[in-house]
Each structure stands twice: as C-alpha cells, then as structure tokens.
Amino acid sequence: MHSILDIARETYPEIVTCRLSNIVDEQVLQDSIKFFKDKNRPVLVESDDNESHRRYIKIIEKQYEKFAFTSPGKNNHSRHITNLDCLTRYCCDPTQPTIDHDHDKKYKFLFLVGKPQPYRWKMIQALWKRNLIDKSLISLRNEAEAYTHIIPKSLLLPKEYEWKEINDLGGYRWDMKINSKLDMAWQSYFGKVHPLLYRDTAISIVSEGSIDKGINLVSEKTWIPIVAEHLMVFQASTGHIQFLEELGFNMKYEVFADYDESNHEMVANICSDLDNSSSRSLYDSTRKQRLYNRNLALDEQHWKSYHLNQLKNFNWDRL
C-alpha cells in the first residue's frame, strides 16, 4: 500500500514533504516553517482535513509561499491536491475478506457514528423519528448523555462485531489518547473489514468527517463499506457520490432515489424507503455493481497512477 507522499518523493525528489499529523503544537509548526524557508524548495503538506490541520495550513500560507497541501478527497482551494490515502494506505489490501451477503441480515442498518458531531446527532434524531433506531446496529459513546430519550449513554457494538483486542481494552473510543494501548490496537485494525459486522448488516449509514461546502472528504468511513461490498447511504458534503462517480465508481444504485447528502432529513427518508425493501432483493439487484466497486477500490496500481496524475496536473511552477 502507499500514500501520495510516497509517489511525490519518487517523482519529485526536490520536493520537501510534511505530515501535519506529526505537528504536535505551534512551536513544532514554526520550526517546520523555518525548515521550509531554509530549504527554499517546494513543500507538499499532507493534511487530514481536521480543524487543527486547516488552521495550520492558514498559518503556513501566511508565512511561506512555496507550498501545496494534499488531503483525502476534493477541495476547491487553489493550493490543494486530491489524494485517496485513506484507501491506498489502509484499505487497499488484497487480503481483505470477501463477505457472504447471501447470509440472512440481522440488522437493516449499520451506523458507526464516531465522534458525536452536531450533524450526526441530527441524523440520529431523523432516524429515531422514522422508527429506524431499533433496526440499526449503532456504535456511539454518548458520554455527555445527550438525547437520552432517543439513545442511552452509550451504544457499544456487541463483542462479536468488534476486534477482540479492542474489546479487551474496553471498546472503541473516539477520544482515546494518542499512543495509548487502545490507540495502538485501533491503528492496527484501521481500514480492515470486520467480516461479521458487514455480513450481518444490510446498509451502512456513512456519516463522513465533514459536510462543509467546497470539500468532499473521503475517509475510511466510505472505503471500508465499498471494499466490503456493502450497500451505503451517505451523510456527507453535497457532491460526495458524484465525486466517487468521477473516480470511476458506480455508486448510483437504481433502487435508491437521488438525494442531497448534506440534508439529514433526505438521507433519513432514503433509509426509510430502503427499510421497506427486502435486504435479499437489494443485494441481488446490486451484486455486479458492488463487486465492480470493490475490485476498483483494491486496484492499487490504478490508484498509484491516479496519485501520479494528481501531482503532475498541479502547477508547481507557480510556487
């Protein structure tokens, strides 16, 4: 597996690369900017597109001109280069299991919430209003005890649907400490398809890491279900599905109505419509499409060429 920085180093040896995930505080950031200035060469900065990284990019932009940044997905910023690192670093593994979707589904929906962002709470409320919570397998740490009339303090995955090492450490926590035993265990399974989790559920409700306009963040939340040949409904920035289509995926299922991914009510309506269809018929009618998407996701050579083209299409001369 590979990252776009690997391709950049091979193709443009003169470029300085920097991962913002290695910047632990403002002082390290300033030290890095000084290093950029001393080298006086083009810099490619890798961002996870979180709030801290967006702030760091603004600081770099004010202090050093010769830089571009790359993040997982589409971004309309003039200095941006698209990468698919969440796929190619973590999910694009030929040893990923093949899921038996002819098996009876115990749950209609799978919703791995992650950090309880406000827009995700809106999604949960919309599902509750449509009586879909009890038909869903949900993972959510509700430590603040919000919306307890809808959902209890925490919904942990049953043990058979979580990796044993993570179970032994108390289960997944979005707020785990960096380099803790839980974080190290989670990192070791990051991007991997859990066979039972996707065998026993029919439709992933994928709530991406951003619903901001002008950004189509594509994280492991999207890639893992694609590799698992799972049916998917997205809560994401408008144009998320269209971006996946531009990448070559066939994500527009005939059994789904069109919807705006950023509108949680529309997303919940799609879920309600799908609840009225049998999981078996949904899977039978989409079998070839889902297999095509899995095979494309696992074609690492294709994505190496994609990353190379993204780098070559960027106007480095203007830096």
Query: Which amino acid appears at position 21 of this protein?
Result: S
Question: For residue 316, is pLDDT > 90?
Answer: no
pLDDT in tens, 181-233: 998 988 899 999 999 999 999 999 999 999 999 899 999 999 999 999 999 99
CATH number of the domain to which 52 belongs:
3.40.50
Question: For residue 139, is pLDDT > 90?
Answer: yes
Chain mean pLDDT for the chain: 94
Q: Are residues 123 and 140 in the same domain?
A: yes
- Distance separating alpha carbons of residues 140 and 173, to the nearest angstrom: 9
CB 54 within 8 Å of CB 47: yes
Q: Is residue 288 part of a domain?
A: yes
Q: Is residue 151 part of a domain?
A: yes
Q: Is residue 100 part of a domain?
A: no
Q: Is residue 287 part of a domain?
A: yes
Q: What is the pTM of this model?
A: 0.94
Q: Are residues 67 and 161 in the same domain?
A: no
> Given strand 154-155, what is the order of strands in its sheet?
154-155, 136-141, 107-112, 201-207, 231-235
Q: Are residues 24 and 66 in the same domain?
A: yes
pLDDT at 49: 92
Q: Is residue 99 part of a domain?
A: no
Question: For residue 170, is pLDDT > 90?
Answer: no
pLDDT in tens, 237-261: 999 999 999 999 999 998 888 999 9
Q: Are residues 55 and 71 in the same domain?
A: yes
Question: For residue 143, is pLDDT > 90?
Answer: no
Q: Is residue 37 part of a domain?
A: yes
pLDDT at 172: 84
- Distance separating alpha carbons of residues 200 and 155, to the nearest angstrom: 17
pLDDT in tens, 30-42: 999 999 999 999 9
Please give the share of the chain, as a percent, with pLDDT higher than 70. 99
Task: Give how many domains the chain has, as a whole number.
Answer: 2
Domain encompassing residue 26: 4-90+301-318
Q: Are residues 228 and 161 in the same domain?
A: yes
Query: Which amino acid appears at position 281 of this protein?
Result: S
Which among 149, 150, 168 is positioned nearest to 159, based on CA atoms? 168
Q: Is residue 126 part of a domain?
A: yes
Q: Are residues 164 and 293 in the same domain?
A: yes
Question: For residue 16, is pLDDT > 90?
Answer: yes
Q: Are residues 62 and 207 in the same domain?
A: no
